[in-house]
Structure 1
Amino acid sequence: MTKPPDIGAAADPTSDKLDAAVLKVAGVVVLGAVMSILDITVVTVAIPTFMADFQASVEVVAWTMTGYTLALASVIPMTGWAADRFGTKRLYMAALTFFIIGSVLCSMAWSIESLVAFRVIQGIGGGMLMPLGMTIMTHAAGPQRIGRVMAVLGVPMLLGPICGPILGGWLIDSFSWHWIFLINLPLGVVALILAYIVFAPDKPKPSESFDFLGMLLASPGLALFLFGVSSIPEKGTVLAARVLIPAIIGAVLLVAFVFHALRTEHPLIDLRLFRNPSLRFSVLTMSLFATAFFGAGFLLPNYLQQVRGETAFDSGLLMAPQGIGAMLTMPIAGFLVDKIGPGKIVMFGITFITIGLAGFTQLHADTSYLMIGAALFVMGLGMGCTMMPVMTAAIQTLSHAQVARGSTLMNIINQTAASIGTATMSVVLAAQLNDHPEAKIGIASNAQPDIAAQVPPSVIEQGLELAAEAFSNTYWVTVILAALTLIPAFFLPRSKPEAPVDAEAVALV
Structure 2
Amino acid sequence: MSHPDTTGAPPTATAPDRLDPAVWRTAVTVLVGALAVVFDTTIVSVALDDLARDLDAPLRTIQWVSTGYLLAVFLTIPLAGWAQQRLGGRRLWMASLSVFLLGSVLSALAWNAAALIAFRVVQGIGGGIMMPLTATLIIQAAKGRDIGKVMAVITVPTALGPILGPVLGGLILRLADWRWMFLVNIPFCAAGLWLARRNLSPGRPADGGSRVRLDVVGLLLLSPGVVAVIYGLSRVEGEAGFLTAGVLVPLTAGLALVGGFVGHALHRPAGALIDIRLLRHRAPAAASALLFLGGFALYAPMMLLPLYFQQIRGHDPLGTGLLLIPQGVGALLARGLAGSYTDRFGPRRVAVAAFAVIALATVPFARVTAGTSEILLMAALLVRGVGLGAAMIAPFDAAYAGLGHHEIADASIITRIAQQIGGSVGIAVLVVVLQHATGTARTASALADGFGTAFWWSVAFTAAAIPLSLLLPGRRAPEPAAED
8 Å contact kept, 1:144–1:497: no
SS at structure 2 position matched to 1:232? coil
2:184 is matched with which residue?
Answer: 183
- Choose the corresponding residue for 1:299, options 300, 304, 324: 304
Q: Give the distance between the partners of 1:236 and 1:189, measured in 2 at CA.
A: 46
1:459 is matched with which residue?
Answer: none
Question: Does residue 226 of the first structure (1) align with residue 206 of the second (2)?
Answer: no
Q: Give the distance between the partners of 2:188 and 2:386, measured in 1 at CA.
A: 30
Q: Give the distance between the partners of 2:293 and 2:184, measured in 1 at CA.
A: 35
SS at structure 1 position matched to 2:354? helix
Structure 1 runs not aligned, ≥5 long: 439-462
Q: CA deviation at 1:217?
A: 0.6
1:415 is matched with which residue?
Answer: 420
SS at structure 2 position matched to 1:55? coil
- Choose the corresponding residue for 2:268, options 264, 273, 276: 264
Aligned length: 477
1:171 is matched with which residue?
Answer: 172
Matches within 5 A, 1:392-431: 392-431=397-436
Q: CA deviation at 1:497?
A: 5.4
Q: Give the distance between the partners of 1:129 and 1:236, measured in 2 at CA.
A: 36
Q: What amino acid does structure 1 have at the position aligned with 2:471?
A: F
CA-to-aligned-CA distance 1:2-46 (integer Å, 9 cap, x gap): x99421536437763213221111111211221111001110121
Q: 1:212 to 1:371 in 2, by over 3 A?
A: same
User: In terms of mean alpha carbon deviation, does 83-92 or 359-368 score higher?
Assistant: 83-92
Q: Give the distance between the partners of 1:11 and 1:369, measured in 2 at CA.
A: 49
8 Å contact kept, 2:72–2:124: yes
8 Å contact kept, 1:95–1:125: yes
Q: CA deviation at 1:236?
A: 6.0
Matches within 5 A, 1:303-318: 303-318=308-323
2:120 is matched with which residue?
Answer: 119
2:59 is matched with which residue?
Answer: 58
- Choose the corresponding residue for 1:474, options 449, 454, 457: 454
8 Å contact kept, 1:337–1:345: yes
Q: CA deviation at 1:323?
A: 1.1
Q: What amino acid does structure 2 have at the position aligned with 1:253?
A: L
Q: CA deviation at 1:206?
A: 2.9
8 Å contact kept, 1:350–1:483: yes
Q: CA deviation at 1:269?
A: 1.7
Q: CA deviation at 1:193?
A: 1.1
Q: CA deviation at 1:201?
A: 1.2
Q: What amino acid does structure 2 have at the position aligned with 1:246?
A: P
Question: Does residue 241 of the first structure (1) align with residue 245 of the second (2)?
Answer: yes
SS at structure 2 position matched to 1:420? helix
Q: What amino acid does structure 1 have at the position aligned with 2:473?
A: P
CA-to-aligned-CA distance 1:236-261 (integer Å, 9 cap, x gap): 62122221221111111111111111
Question: Does residue 12 of the first structure (1) align with residue 12 of the second (2)?
Answer: yes
SS at structure 2 position matched to 1:365? coil
8 Å contact kept, 1:146–1:338: yes
Q: CA deviation at 1:209?
A: 2.5
Q: 1:182 to 1:133 in 2, by over 3 A?
A: same
Please provide the CA RMSD for this pair: 1.8
8 Å contact kept, 2:310–2:316: yes
Q: Give the distance between the partners of 1:209 and 1:13, measured in 2 at CA.
A: 37
Greater C-alpha Rg: 1
8 Å contact kept, 1:81–1:405: no
SS at structure 1 position matched to 2:372? coil
TM-score by length of 1: 0.90
User: In terms of mean alpha carbon deviation, does 471-480 or 288-297 score higher?
Assistant: 288-297
User: In terms of mean alpha carbon deviation, does 109-118 or 292-301 score higher?
Assistant: 292-301
CA-to-aligned-CA distance 1:347-372 (integer Å, 9 cap, x gap): 11111001011121111012110111
Q: CA deviation at 1:110?
A: 0.5
2:215 is matched with which residue?
Answer: 211
Q: What amino acid does structure 2 have at the position aligned with 1:293?
A: L
8 Å contact kept, 1:13–1:143: no
Same amino acid, percent of matched pairs: 37
Question: Does residue 346 of the first structure (1) align with residue 348 of the second (2)?
Answer: no
4+ long deviations beyond 4 Å: none
Q: What amino acid does structure 2 have at the position aligned with 1:407?
A: S
8 Å contact kept, 2:4–2:406: no
1:386 is matched with which residue?
Answer: 391
Q: CA deviation at 1:388?
A: 2.1
Question: Does residue 334 of the first structure (1) align with residue 336 of the second (2)?
Answer: no
Q: What amino acid does structure 2 have at the position aligned with 1:294?
A: Y
Q: What amino acid does structure 1 have at the position aligned with 2:242?
A: V
8 Å contact kept, 1:8–1:139: no
Q: CA deviation at 1:154?
A: 1.5
Q: 1:235 to 1:109 in 2, by over 3 A?
A: farther
8 Å contact kept, 1:214–1:257: yes
1:74 is matched with which residue?
Answer: 75
- Choose the corresponding residue for 2:465, options 477, 482, 485: 485
SS at structure 2 position matched to 1:9? coil
CA-to-aligned-CA distance 1:141-169 (integer Å, 9 cap, x gap): 12222211211121111111111111112
TM-score by length of 2: 0.95
CA-to-aligned-CA distance 1:167-190 (integer Å, 9 cap, x gap): 112222212211110111122011
Q: CA deviation at 1:121?
A: 0.5
SS at structure 2 position matched to 1:43? helix
8 Å contact kept, 2:96–2:130: yes
Matches within 5 A, 1:443-454: none
Q: What amino acid does structure 1 have at the position aligned with 2:94?
A: M
